[in-house]
Amino acid sequence: MAAEFSGKVALVTGTTGIACSTALRLSSAGAQVVALGIDEAGNRALAEADPTIVVRHADVSASLEVEAALADLRSRFGRLDVIVNSAAIHPYGDAVGTDPDTFLRCLAVNVGSIHLTAHWGVPLMRASGSGAIVNVSSVQGHACQPGVAAYVASKGAIHALTRAMALDFAADKIRVVSVSPGSVRTPILALAARTFDGDDADLDAVFARFGASHPIGRIGEPEEVADFIAYLASDKAGFITGSDHIIDGGLTAGIGVR
C-alpha cells in the first residue's frame, strides 16, 4: 500500500469527514496531497494529523482561489494525477423554503467546485499524461428524503457532470467517476442529527437510528469511503470511467414499504 500512489500528486477538496480520510489515505499510500478547505478547525486538524499534506485555506466555489491553489500546486510539484472533489454543504428546505442565495451557494460549492478543479487541473493532468477524478456525490442523487431540494439537486448534477467529463477527457487518459455514499459518520451527518433531534442530540443514539435504516445495520465510516475512493483513483481501476458507485450499506437496494 505504501507505494500505491508513489510519485503521484493528488488534490482533495474539503478537509473534514470523507475528504479528511481520503487525504490521509492517499498520503499514506505515497501521494503528495494538497487539500483545500474553508473550515479552519478542519484545516488545522488535517495538517496536524499529517504534516506532509499541504493544507490551504480556499473557498473552492471561488474561481480565483482555486486558480491560485492550482498554480501553487504546479509550482510545488509540477504535476497532478488525482483530483477528489469532496467539498460540500448541506442546506435543508424544500424549493419554497430554500432562499435563492442558499440554493445557488449549494450548487456553487457542491457542483461548481468540480468544474473549477477540472478547469484549472485537467491541463496539468494532460501534461502528466493521465489522471483520475473522483467526485463525491450521495445516494440522495438517486433517491431522496423530503426537505433537501438544493442538496439533492447538486448531487444529481454531480452524476451528470461526471458522465460528461468522462467522455470529454477520455482521449486524454483521464478517468472520471463518482461515488455515492449513504449515511457516513461525518460533520454533515452530525448536522442532520442536530437538525432533526436538536442541538443537544445524543449523536451516537441518532447515528444508531440512522444506521438501522441501512440493511447492513449501521452507518458507514469515512475511512471505508476513503478506501473505495483510493481504489477508484488507482491504476487498479483503469477500465472504470463515467460511472457512479454506490457505497451505502444496502440503503438504496430496498423500498420503504414496511
Distance CA 192, CA 18 (A): 16
Exactly one of 5, 92, 120, 151 is catalytic; name it.
Answer: 151
Whether 92 is catalytic: no
Eight-state DSSP code of residue 189: H
Q: State phi, psi for 213 to the nearest 5 degrees.
A: -80, -10
For residues 248 and 181, the answer to whether their CB atoms sit within 8 Å is yes
Instruction: Decide if 131 contacts 173 (C-beta within 8 A).
Output: yes
Closest C-alpha among 51, 40, 55, 4 to residue 25:
4
Cell output for 165:
467529463
Other Cβ atoms less than 10 A from the Cβ of 135: the count is: 28
**18 with 41: CB under 8 angstroms?**
no
Residues 6+ apart with CB under 8 A from 197: 206
Active site residues: 151
